[in-house]
Each structure stands twice: as C-alpha cells, then as structure tokens.
Structure 1
Amino acid sequence: MVTRLYIARHGQSKWNLESRMQGMKDIELTQLGLEQAELLAKRLKGENIDCIYSSDLKRAYTTAEIISKEINAPIVKIEEFREMSFGVWEGLTAKEIEENYQELYDLWKTDPRHVLIENAETLKEVQKRMLTKTKEIVEENWGKNILIVSHGTSIKALILGLLEIDLSFYPSFRMDNASLSIIDIKENKKAVLVLYNDTCHLGERK
C-alpha cells in the first residue's frame, strides 16, 4: 500500500507580484493567483484526494479553499506548514535585500544552510517542522491521497527532506506558484518522487 502526497504551492500573491519577501506575513492572492488556484483545483479533481492540510496563511488557505470546493475534500489548518520566517527581510524586495544584505543574500542563493537572518528561522528549522508534521499526517492517513498546500521555501525544504537530499541542493530546485508535486510514500517509508513543480494545468495563466 502506498500513501500519495500531493504538494501544492499557493497561487500568486500581491507580494509575489512585487518580488517582496513574504515569509510569515499574511498576504492575499492576486486575481491571477485566484485564477491559478481554480486551474489547480480542476487539475486535482480526478485524483481522489481524501484530505487537505494547509498552511493557515491566507495565500495558502485561500488556495486550499478553492481546491476543497472543487474536489469536495475537508481542509485542516496546519501552522507548521507556514512559510519560513525571514525575519528582517520580510517586506523587502529582492533588490532591497541584495543592496542591504549583499553578502548574506549571496550566501542564501548559493548555500542557504548556513544563512542566519536576524529574527528569522534557519532553513534546517523549517525543514524539521515540515517533515515532523508531514510524517505525523502520513501515519494518521496511511494509504490515502493527501494534499498539502504550502509555500515555496517550505515545500522545497520538505521535498528535499523526504527524498533525503542534502539542503545544500536547495538553490538547484525551483518552485512556482500554483505548482503541483507528487511524492509516493512506500510501505518501507521510502519516498519516491513522481512529479515535481508541474504547472501544465496553468496554461498561459502563469
């Protein structure tokens, strides 16, 4: 018996559009983000998803609500599935971060394992909370199809952890808005990557 994890990133938010670091700031979806969520929901309609676990931040939870209405599956809010806390970087644009924290930002783009942002989580801490909660949910729902709706950094950290890939490879992975990834958890608890960062369902609405 296999447990299948469907892992979706939220649709475009207002700060995605402005290239601002969101972290745990509670930012709403744009009109495009709402449309992306609708298309993602339609993509998931035939997948027989049993349950949805979503970050409680608006951009993720609104995405989950749209999916829930389409596929008729219940949602549970999970605080552990929030985005990484980026501390003093939150609210800043990528350009502003580069200008004010150039050395640290360069390290974030090359080897984020060792980045310590003021008042922020580390990537390892994010991965630990994501993995711990996901494994708990898998145990509770063994053999089911589970949808997780979360955020770019958190999802990448989770997937790397499930696949036992070192966090040093984090910069080599991309995670788009309203993308879908699928991982099967085998009976021996080994994770198998089935799909990664798929956005075919979005068509031109990227």
Structure 2
Amino acid sequence: MTKIYLVRHGETTWNADARAQGSKDVALSERGRLQAQLLAKRMKNYHIDHIFSSDLIRAYETASIIAGGFQSEVNQIHGFREMSFGEWEGLTNDEIKQNYDTHFKIWRSQPHKAQIPGGEMLLDVQKRGLQALHQLVNQYEGQSILIVSHGTALKAILLGLLDIDLSYFYKIRQDNTCINLVEFRDYGPVVVTLNDTAHTENILY
C-alpha cells in the first residue's frame, strides 16, 4: 500500500492579509515557519521515504523544514504549484470584489466555471496535480511520500481522488500546514485524514 501525505504550506504574510497568491513567489511568515517546525516535529513520528514540493518558495521552504528531520532532500515538481490567479494576484479579496465583481461572483458560486483574467481554470490545476501525483504513486509503489502543495491545488486534487465534481470546491477546507493522508490500496485511493492541524492547536492567534 502506498501512503501519500498531502500537506499545505505554512502561512505567508499574504495569507494573513487575504491576498491572492497563486503563482507569485511569497515566502513564509514567521508564523508560517513556526507552523512548519511544529509539523516537522509531528512528522518524525511517521515513516517517510520521499519528500516533494511545489516549485514555489512557500511550499519548498515548508518541505525543507520537514525534510530536516529526516535528513532528506526535497524534489520540486511544477505540477503541484498553486493555481495561477492571473490579474488577481497580489490583490486582497476586497480589491478583487471591487475590480472584478462579475468574475469574483462566478468564482465564489461556480468555481469550476470561473475564468479568472490571465489565470488558470480549476480543471487544469486538477489535471496537472493528479498527473504528477499518479506518476509518484506508480514510481514509488508501496512507499510513503510527503507532498507539500497549496490550498486550491490540494482541494482540486482531493476532489479528483474522491471522484467529486469541482463544483463542490468550497465544501473542503485546507488550513496552513494541514495533513491529508491518502492510502492507495488495490481498489483505489482512500482518504484517511482530511485537514488535520492538531500540531498547531497551541499556537496563539
């Protein structure tokens, strides 16, 4: 049985400001590094054979902090990077609402149909994410793999593994440094854990 730990990166300053990050390379905040350190301490209780991340710095930095506990290297994979939000990147939710009201309403009500100016479609994010994931599952059959990715990308991947339509995108929550455990068994993928953030419960907000 192959185990996949799908993890969201730690908090960035843009997360705290509710800014759309997408393909922008935003580093972890001090709080985000603390979250990653707590996650790394927790992950020492598990057996991990390989660690991968998106090619964006916030995911790679999170994965590198975890990898330090395993004395392992982190390999970056483009397929796990966050959805490109095009012209929205760097803007707060309020700024997006003000300047892109029609597109924003579609994104919030029918995310699978949203065409963000200059950005990706949610389906395209899901396709590249699932392709990258299945390549690793096939390559490292029977092993345990940790992948650090992003909120939107992870939700799209999880919905795909569950055969749930992307229209249910907002039915899943992915907090910073959450753990999602997926076991690939003989009859297919099984989501064992979803949005587990027990390691960050004692951080003061």
TM range (shorter): over 0.9
Counterparts of 1:51 and 1:110, CA distance in 2:
37
Residues 38-70 of structure 1 show CA distances to partners (whole Å, capped at 9, x for unaligned) of 011111111101001101111000000000001
Gaps of 5+ in 1: none
CA deviation after TM superposition for structure 1 residue 74, in Å: 2.7
Superposition TM-score, scaled by structure 2 size: 0.97
Gaps of 5+ in 2: none
What SS does the aligned partner of 1:154 have? helix
Q: Counterparts of 1:1-206 in structure 2 under 5 Å?
A: 2-188=1-187, 190-205=188-203
Runs of 4+ with >3 A deviation? none
Superposition TM-score, scaled by structure 1 size: 0.96
CA deviation after TM superposition for structure 1 residue 135, in Å: 0.2
Counterparts of 1:5 and 1:66, CA distance in 2:
18
Counterparts of 2:86 and 2:9, CA distance in 1:
21
Identity of aligned residues (%): 45
Residues 17-49 of structure 1 show CA distances to partners (whole Å, capped at 9, x for unaligned) of 111100000001000000000011111111101
Counterparts of 1:73 and 1:50, CA distance in 2:
9
- Residues 13, 28 of structure 1: 8 Å contact kept: yes
CA root-mean-square deviation: 1.0
**What amino acid is aligned across from residue 204 of structure 1 in structure 2?**
N
CA deviation after TM superposition for structure 1 residue 118, in Å: 1.2
CA deviation after TM superposition for structure 1 residue 105, in Å: 1.1
Counterparts of 1:204 and 1:18, CA distance in 2:
22
Residues 144-163 of structure 1 show CA distances to partners (whole Å, capped at 9, x for unaligned) of 01101000000000111111
What SS does the aligned partner of 1:35 have? helix
What SS does the aligned partner of 1:132 have? helix
CA deviation after TM superposition for structure 1 residue 113, in Å: 0.6
**What amino acid is aligned across from residue 70 of structure 2 in structure 1?**
I
**What amino acid is aligned across from residue 18 of structure 2 in structure 1?**
S
What SS does the aligned partner of 1:183 have? strand
**What amino acid is aligned across from residue 3 of structure 2 in structure 1?**
R
Greater CA deviation, 96-105 or 3-12? 96-105
- Residues 50, 146 of structure 1: 8 Å contact kept: yes
**What amino acid is aligned across from residue 137 of structure 1 in structure 2?**
L
Counterparts of 2:53 and 2:192, CA distance in 1:
21
- Residues 111, 171 of structure 1: 8 Å contact kept: no
